[in-house]
Amino acid sequence: MVLNYKKSVIVVTGPTGIGKTGLSIDLAREFDCPIISADSRQIFKELKIGTAAPTNEELRKATHYLIGTHSIFDYYSAYKYEQEALALVDKLFEANDVVILTGGSMMYIDAFCNGIDELPTIDPELRDNLQEAFRKEGLENIRRQLKLLDPVFYNQLDLKNPKRIIHALEICLMTGRPYSALRTNTKKIRPFHIVKIGLDMDRSLLHQRINQRVDQMMQDGLENEARGLYAHRTLNSLNTVGYREFFDFFDNIINREKAIELVKRNSRRYARKQLSWFRRDEEITWFSPQNTEEVITFVQRKIKRTGAHN
């Protein structure tokens, strides 16, 4: 990537449902620049309604990248996202001094801003075998294997998070080395300026917005979208709020009303998790999503200081 400290990436992040897309479009139109998505599910073309992907109208208002560009059947990771997004930024900087990067996927934003360790691509057969073992035997046996192969990482992670436990075990089995030994966590210096904007609002209002958005998803056809994906429900890309609840409904584990209730509840929980994660980042400046002009003024001041957008 070419060194150019007169270029800036404006990162717009925050919890689900808070209005990142709308603000990003306003910024893109103000600075006449494109938007790159940092959403780990909107990147999949099959997931439109349940991920609240930008509408056709929103896509017409500003040029978007990494929306619906991959399939749920593709292996994808935060490391792959880092490589694709950085290459894209480098290309976009040929015609733009500013690029907007927006989304709420914590690992994707962290990978883009700080870098992530390169880890091996997992053999599909190994992944399928571990997923099958998890479905049949539960998490305890997989936890025991990880504790044996990588006690260091085992003592660091959330032992109730099957996704992270299985992924760490995949790495151990693929490489023959502890997952913890492959993670350097060294922050990479980017050859451009990064300005981070975080959106937050009163919790009760945010929860109300999330509930209303789920209601809108139902009107837009979320249930039918999930039903069309049911045959592929074991894919990691579909282990996602908005889909897994309906898969339980289709399996007669819960009723339809409960599925909708859980989509709302789990979306609210995810929003709290996002805020907790992003609050630890001291580089983020926080705004209300309604304060568009205040955000624009802040960004103008920041990029003027770097020499971008002259």
pLDDT of residue 76: 84
Does 146 share its domain with 294?
no
Does 57 share its domain with 198?
yes
**CATH number of the domain encompassing residue 142:** 1.10.20.140
Does 176 share its domain with 256?
no
Regions of the chain where pLDDT drops below 70: 1-5, 185, 306-310
pLDDT of residue 66: 98
Does 18 share its domain with 143?
no
pLDDT of residue 187: 83
What's this model's pTM, rounded to 2 decimal places? 0.82
Give me the domain span that covers residue 288: 8-117+186-306
In a domain, 2, yes or no: no
Domain boundary residue, one of 182, 201, 231: 182
pLDDT of residue 279: 94
In a domain, 3, yes or no: no
Domain boundary residue, one of 145, 161, 182: 182
Summarize pLDDT for 220-238 with one digit per residue, the tens: 999 999 999 999 998 878 9
In a domain, 237, yes or no: yes
The edge-to-edge listing of strands for the beta sheet with 64-65 is: 64-65, 35-37, 98-102, 8-13, 193-199, 284-287
**CATH number of the domain encompassing residue 17:** 3.40.50.300
pLDDT of residue 295: 97
Domain boundary residue, one of 151, 182, 213: 182
In a domain, 176, yes or no: yes
Does 176 share its domain with 208?
no
Does 33 share its domain with 162?
no
pLDDT of residue 129: 83
Does 96 share its domain with 33?
yes
In a domain, 208, yes or no: yes
What is the total count of domains within the chain?
2
